[in-house]
Structure 1
Amino acid sequence: MSQVVLITGASSGIGKSIAEFLVTKGFIVYGTSRNPKNELVNGVHFLALDVTQGETVKAAVAAVLAKESRIDVLINNAGKGITGPLEEIPEEELKSIFETNYFGPLKVIKAVLPAMREQRSGLIINVTSIAGYMGLPYRSAYSATKGALGLTTEALRMELKEFNIKLTNVAPGDFATNIASGRYHAPLKETSPYKENYGKSLALMDEHVDHGEDPQKMGKAVYAIITEKEPKVHYKVGAFMQKISVFLKGVLPSKIYERLLLNHYKL
C-alpha cells in the first residue's frame, strides 16, 4: 500500500521538488499552498492551507484523512525568509516570521498527531535550515525561528516515541530557488548606520541562493529519510562548506568561530 504524504509549501522551490520526487517513487502526495491554482499538478494533489490560519490547517488535514484514512508522513516545509538589522525590523514582521516558520509547523503537527497516534505510526520531517544552527548577521530572526523548530523537534521526538511516531529535522543549506523573492527585506536606508555592512551581506545572501544546490537533491534526501527504519534526529543537506560549518561550531572556541563568520560576510 502506498504511503500517504502531506507536505506544506509544495507549490515552488524545495517543497515542489520534494513532492514531485516522491510521486515518482510511488507515494500518494498531497501538497499545500495558500492559493492552489489546480487540484492536481504533476501527480501532486493540492489543497489550500495557510500555516498561520488554524482553520485551514484543520480543513486540509481532515480532507486528506477523509480520502485516504491515514497520513503516514508529514513534511513541514512551508516557510519564509527575513533579513535586516534587528534594530530596524518592525516588530510585526518579527512576529510574522515566527507565526510562519515556528508556530505554523506546530499547528500542522498538532493536527496530524491524533490520526498518527490512532494508526500507531507516522513520520514527521521538519525542514529547518543550516542557518538554524548559528546566529547569522542580518538573519537573526530567521536563524531564531529555524533553531527553535529544531530544538522543539528534539523534545517532541522523545514525547512521541511511545506512540511509534518518529520525528526528524532536515536542514538545507542554500538551494537555487525563488526564496529570495519572497523574503521580507528590511529596507536598505541611506541614513542607516548599518547601510554598508547590511548591503554587503544582502548581496552575498542573494549570490548564495543564485548559485545554490539543485533542489532535487532535497527530494532525494527526504526520500532516503522516509525509507530509513530509524531516522536520525538531524540531517543536513547542502554544500560541503555549509555542512562543515555546523561541525566547526561544535569544536571551535566561540570567538574563533565568530571570526570565521565575520570574515565570510566581510564584516
Structure 2
Amino acid sequence: MSATTPRFAGLRAVVTGASRGIGAGIAERLAAEGADLMLVARTLDHHPTLTGSLTETAARLAGYGHRVEVLAADLSDPGDRARIVPEAVERLGGPVDILVNNAAAAIYQPLADYPLRRSRLTFEMNVHAPLELMQAVLPGMLECGRGWIVNLSSASARLFDGPPFRLVEPGTSLAVYAASKAALNRIVNGMAAELYGTRIRVNAVQPRAAVLSEGAAALTGGTLRADQIEHLEEMVEAVTALCAAPTELTGRICSSLDLIGELDLQVCGLDGRPWTRPEVSA
C-alpha cells in the first residue's frame, strides 16, 4: 500500500453484514485504504443480544474521510435485497467495483428434526442472496472492464471423514449451514469460469480457524481453544487481498491463513497500519 495512493482509492465497495465482526472489519480496512462504501445489514441500530450496529460502523469509518453510506435491508427477502445494488450505484455515484458477500445465516440444529423453514432461510441468505447480488453488480463491472467479488465461505463445507465419524462440536448440527456454504463455493467457481477473460475476479475465502466475532462467540459459547482461533485482522487481510486480486487469481476457494502465506502478505491492522500478532498463551 502506497502512502500517496491508497490501494482502493476511487473504488466503490458494497459490504453486507457490516454491523459487527468480520463484515465491519472488512469495511474498515477498505475505508482505511481509500474506498467509498455502502454498508448493508438487516437493521441500522443495535441487535438485541449482540454488540455493534451499522450506525456505529459507519460513524467509525467516517473518520477515514471517504464516503460511507448505510442501508438496512433484509437479505432473506428477495424484494428487499433487490434494492441494494441500485441504491449503492446511485448513492456512491457509479458502478460497484467491489462486492463482499459477508452476511450469512447460521442456525445449528440436529438434522433429524431440522425445520424446513430454517433450511429455506439458510439457503436464501447464504446461497440465493450472494448469487443475486453478484448478478446485480455484473452489468456495471462488465461495462467498466473490471471488478472484484469476494464471498465469505466456511471450512465446514468439507465432508466429514468416516466411518467411523469422529465429530467435534457442533458436529452434525452445522450440516445445513455447511451445505449452503458448499453450494456457494460451487457457484463462486462456476461464476469465475463463466466470467474468465472479463477481468472480473470471483473468489471465496474461509477462515482456517475460527474468527471469534460477536456472532461466533455467541454460537460457540466460549468452547474454542486458543489454537482453534485466528485473529480478525488475519481474516480481513485475506479478504482485502482478494478485493485487489490480479486477473489470474479467480475461481478460488481460499483459506485465510494459507492465502496470507501463499502471497507472502504482511498482516496489517484494520486501520491499514502495521500489526503484530498477539502471543497465544499455552
Aligned residues: 221
Partner of 1:234: 253
CA distance in 1, matches of 2:81, 2:151: 16
**Structure 1 residues 182 and 208: alpha-carbon distance in aligned structure 2, compared to 1, 3 A threshold:** closer
**Structure 1 residues 235 and 163: alpha-carbon distance in aligned structure 2, compared to 1, 3 A threshold:** same
- Spell out, residue by residue over 1:126-179, the C-alpha distance to the aligned partner (whole angstroms, 9 max, x if none): 111111123452211111000110011111111112432210011123111122
Partner of 1:80: 105
Partner of 1:225: 242
**SS state of the match for residue 137, structure 1?**
helix
- Percent sequence identity is 27
- Spell out, residue by residue over 1:82-133, the C-alpha distance to the aligned partner (whole angstroms, 9 max, x if none): 2121002112111111111111111211221121122221111111111112
Q: TM-score, normalized by length of structure 2?
A: 0.71
Give the deviation of 1:58 after TM superposition. Answer: 2.5
Give the deviation of 1:32 after TM superposition. Answer: 0.4
Where structure 2 has 5 or more consecutive residues not aligned to the other structure, the ranges are: 1-8, 46-54, 62-67, 161-170, 259-282
CA distance in 1, matches of 2:74, 2:224: 28
Contact kept? 2:239, 2:256, Cα under 8 Å:
no
Partner of 1:8: 16
Partner of 2:71: 47
CA distance in 2, matches of 1:209, 1:50: 33
**SS state of the match for residue 150, structure 2?**
strand
Q: Is 1:121 aligned to residue 150 of structure 2?
A: no
Contact kept? 1:72, 1:116, Cα under 8 Å:
yes
| More helix as a share of residues | 1
Partner of 1:260: none
Partner of 1:242: none
Partner of 1:65: 89
Partner of 1:17: 25
Partner of 2:213: 177
Give the deviation of 1:50 after TM superposition. Answer: 1.8
Contact kept? 1:122, 1:164, Cα under 8 Å:
yes
CA distance in 1, matches of 2:150, 2:25: 15
Q: TM-score, normalized by length of structure 1?
A: 0.75
CA RMSD of aligned residues (A): 2.5
Partner of 1:97: 122
